[in-house]
Structure 1
Amino acid sequence: MNSQTSKVYLFIHVICCVKNKEPLLTKPVRTVLFAHIKKNAADNGINVLLVNGTEDHMHVVVQMMPTQNLAQIMKSIRTESAAWINESKFIKNLFEWEEGFAALSVSPSSVKQVLDYIEKQEEHHKTKSLDSELEVFQKIQI
């Protein structure tokens, strides 16, 4: 198979927290921020399938291309989005993302299920905390 006929299906589910998990992302901020992230990523060759979250974190599903690097993708998304929030003055205080992030590969057959889960973040976090959500990742053993 040559590179012109290659088909690559690398889907990554990433969770990023607001610095110190502060609840700074109000609904109006999330609405404009997540739309901005998706558009800006597309403008930079990053295929973000979905961005959603709550006051203290966001979920991003990215379809990576073979030449892309997850650390660079997330640095680009987080750096640009924090600068955009701060320049736009959507939040009174300085906005920052946590340094690290959680990332999981997603099987092509499970992408729809993951997107459905991310679509329902507000509903999901009415009964489950971010910490309990992140604990699930700690328990994954290979």
Structure 2
Amino acid sequence: MANTYTQVHIQVIFAVQNRQGLIQNSWKVELYKYITAIIQNHNHKVLQINGMPDHIHILIGMRPTQSLSDLMKQVKQNSSKWINNKGIINGKFSWQSGYGAFSYSKTDLPRVMRYIQNQEEHHKTKTFLDEYVALLQTHEVDYDEQYIFKPIE
């Protein structure tokens, strides 16, 4: 797209099915590299990726060549398939449907990157659900509680 100039930064958050803590330290870096490659193969840029055993945060520099929903579909489908094909968990791995996406200005990026880098420290005092609802409220996103990521059943 000649003469198209954009600067779009989005933090995406999505959870393991039923928020189960399945992402293990022994393979999470490999998973993050795999997800990064999926995003880069679609010509977007991963600025930061990190998470916890039950969810992931990704800060992306988005190109206007693809919708966010199409990108997230690819990331979640391909990474689930990768985890299942490697057989690194007992049973079948899947991501919970849906995701949260929040946009940021360039001046916000250092703060958001630190936030994502420090997930382990952050979650010593705040649950994932509390964190997620706080982000929705901070960004003034209307939401229906019945569609918030399901708790572990």
TM-score (norm 1): 0.91
Partner of 1:112: 110
Query: For residue 104 of structure 1, what is the amino acid of its counterpart?
Result: F
Unaligned runs of 5+ in 1: none
CA distance in 2, matches of 1:57, 1:25: 8
Partner of 2:5: 7
Partner of 2:16: 18
Q: CA deviation at 1:79?
A: 0.5
Of 25, 28, 40, 1:27 maps to 25
**Secondary structure of the equivalent of 1:90?**
coil
CA distance in 2, matches of 1:17, 1:57: 4
Partner of 1:91: 89
CA distance in 1, matches of 2:64, 2:12: 18
Identical-pair percentage: 32
**Secondary structure of the equivalent of 1:25?**
coil
Q: CA deviation at 1:4?
A: 4.0
Q: How many residues are matched? A: 140
Partner of 1:36: 34
Partner of 1:51: 49
**Secondary structure of the equivalent of 1:66?**
coil
Q: CA deviation at 1:44?
A: 3.1
Query: For residue 122 of structure 2, what is the amino acid of its counterpart?
Result: H
TM-score (norm 2): 0.85
Q: CA deviation at 1:89?
A: 0.9
> Could you list the per-position Cα deviations for residues 72-107 of structure 1 after superposition, in whole angstroms to 9, with x for gaps in the alignment?
011111110000000011111210001111110111
Instruction: Give 1:115-126 correspondences, 5 Å limit.
Output: 115-126=113-124
Query: For residue 44 of structure 1, what is the amino acid of its counterpart?
Result: H
**Secondary structure of the equivalent of 2:56?**
strand
Partner of 2:76: 78
**Secondary structure of the equivalent of 2:130?**
helix
Unaligned runs of 5+ in 2: 142-153
- CA-based RMSD of the aligned residues comes to 1.5
